[in-house]
Amino acid sequence: MSYLGKNYHPPGTAPGTLDDSRRGEIEIRLVDYDERDYREETLASAEECMPYLDRPSRTWVQVNGRPDVATVRGLGQLFELHELALEDVLNTGQRPKIDVYGEQVFVVLAMPVHTPEGVMNEQVSIFAGPDYLICFSTTPDDPFEPLRKRMRPPSSSRLRSRRIDYLLYAIVDLVVDAAFPVLEQFGNEIEELEEELLDAPGRDAIARLHHIRRELLLLRRMLWPQRELVSRLQRDEIELIEEQTQPFLRDCYDHSVQIIDLLESFREMSASLLEVYLSSIGNRTNEVMRVLTIIATIFIPLTFIVGVYGMNFDPADSPWAMPELRWYYGYPLVWLVMIAVTVGLVWFFHRKHWL
C-alpha cells in the first residue's frame, strides 16, 4: 500500500469533476432477479441496462475494474446518481462512508486483499435504490461470485426472496468478512516472528516487523471507519433497510467489531515484539561483551607477566636484576603464578555469574 493511499484532485478543482486517468479493463455484469426468475448477463456498455430499469424485478449491476468516465457518467444518468458520489467512485482510496441522497444510499467500502506486494485496499462503491443496486469494485476479478452462486438455484434462497436491502447487506457482509483471512495471515506472521525473535532474531527481523506494523496501520485507517459505517447501517433509520434485515446487519456489525479487536491486539502484539527485539539486541551485545571481557581480562595480566621476563635486564649485571631468570625452578614458578592468576579470575567471573 502506498502511504497516501488516495487519489485527489488539485485543490480548487470544481467538485464533481470526473477524471479517468487510471481507467483500465472493466467488466459489467448484470443480474436481474426476483423470487421466480434469475437472469445473468455480461454487458458491453452501461446503456444496455436500460431495458431492465422498468421491470418490477430487482437489478444488480456489478462493474469490476477501474471504469472510464463514460461508463460512470452513463450509469450516473440512468440511475440519477449524485455527481459527488460519482467523483468518489473514480477517485479511489476513499475513506469508508455512507451517504444518503434521497431514497438512494451510497456506500463506500474498503476490501483488504492479500497480494504478493502486501495488503491492498480495494474500493467497493455501492449505490442502492428501491429495486436496483450498482456496485463498483476496483478488483480486476469479481469477488462476489459466492453471492451469485447462492442466488442461482431456483430454490427459495433468502437472497432471492428478500428486497434489495438484503443484497446490500450480503455485499457489505462479504466485504467486511474479507478482513478475516487477511488478519489470520497477519496473526501467523506475527506468531512466526515471535518465535524467531525469542529464539535467534535474523538480520531482517526488524524490517519484517516494521513492515507488519506499517501494513496494520494502513489497514486500520480503513477498518475503523468501516466499523462506524456498519454501525450506522445497523442503527440508523435508513428508509431502504427493512426491519427484518436488522439482525443480519447486527451480526455483521459484531464481525466488524471483532475485526477491530483483532487488529488492535495485533498492533499491541507487534509493539510488544519490538520491545522483545530491542532487549534481545541488548542481550546479545551483553554476551559478546562478556566473552571479550573474559578472554581479555585473563590474558592481559598473563601477557604482562611474560613481558616482564622478556625485559633485557641481565642478572649477571646486578643481583637485583631478575634473579629468577637464573633460578633452577624459575620458569615453572612463573607458570605457577600465571595459573594462579587465571584460576583467581575464573573464580571471580564465576561469582559474577559470567561463566
Per the CB < 8 A criterion, the answer to whether 99 and 118 are in contact is: no
Closer to a copy of itself at the Cβ: 25 or 237?
Answer: 237
Contact residue for a copy of itself among 118, 154, 247, 344 (CB under 8 A): 247
Please report, as residue ranges, which positions from 100 to 129 form the binding site for a copy of itself (by CB under 8 A). Answer: 101
Q: Give yes or no for residue 238 binding a copy of itself (CB under 8 A).
A: no
Does residue 239 touch a copy of itself according to CB under 8 A?
no
Among 161, 244, 251, 355, binds a copy of itself (CB under 8 A): 251
Q: Which residues pair with 121 in a beta bridge?
A: 112
For a copy of itself, the closer CB: 63 or 249 = 249
Q: How far is the CB of 311 from a copy of itself (least distance, A)?
A: 4
The grid coordinates listed for 146 are 459466492
CB of 42 to a copy of itself, least distance (A): 20
Report the distance separating Cα 93 and Cα 8, nearest Å: 9
Q: How far is CA 156 from the centre of its chain?
A: 38
Query: Mask 201-230, x = binds a copy of itself (CB under 8 A)?
Result: --x--xx--x--xx--xx-xx---x-----
Question: What cell does 163 get?
Answer: 428486497
The terminus-to-terminus CA distance of the chain in angstroms comes to 49
- Quick one: cell of 332? 615453572
* 183 makes contact with a copy of itself (CB under 8 A): yes
263: left (phi over 0), alpha (psi -120 to 50) or beta: alpha
Task: Count the helix, strand and coil residues of the chain and give each as a percent rounded to the nearest 5.
Answer: 55, 15, 30
CB of 195 to a copy of itself, least distance (A): 10
State the nearest-atom distance from the C-beta of 352 to a copy of itself, in Å. Answer: 8
* Enclosing H/E stretch for 108: strand 104-115
Least Cβ distance, residue 20 to a copy of itself (angstroms): 19
Min dist. Cβ of residue 46 to a copy of itself (A): 23
Burial class of residue 71 in the structure, from the number of CB atoms within 10 Å of its CB (0-12 exposed, 13-18 middle, 19+ buried): buried
Q: Which stretch binds a copy of itself (CB under 8 A): 25-33, 50-58, 120-128, 267-275?
A: 267-275
Is position 150 an interface residue for a copy of itself (rule: CB under 8 A)?
yes
Dihedral-angle region of residue 296 (phi above 0 means left; psi in -120 to 50 means alpha; beta otherwise)? alpha
Shortest gap between Cβ of 100 and a copy of itself (angstroms)?
10
C-alpha cell at 323: 634473579
Subset of 287-346 contacting a copy of itself (CB under 8 A): 287-293, 295-297, 299-304, 306-314, 317-318, 320-322, 325-332, 334
The residue among 176, 98, 166, 111 whose CA lies nearest residue 137 is 111
Give the DSSP H or E segment for 43.
strand 38-43
38 binding a copy of itself? (CB under 8 A): no
Q: Which three cell numbers stand for residue 72?
A: 460512470
Q: How many residues bind a copy of itself (CB under 8 A)?
A: 125
Q: Taking contact as CB under 8 A, which single stretch among the options 6-14, 52-60, 117-125, 236-244 is the one that binds a copy of itself?
A: 6-14
Kindly tell me which residue out of 168, 178, 223, 241 binds a copy of itself, with binding defined by CB under 8 A: 178
Closest approach, Cβ 50 to a copy of itself, in A, equals 27
SS3 (DSSP) at 47 = helix
What is each CA distance from 318 to 306, 315, 329, in whole angstroms?
A: 21, 5, 20
CB under 8 A: which stretch of 37-45, 46-54, 151-159, 230-238 binds a copy of itself?
Answer: 151-159
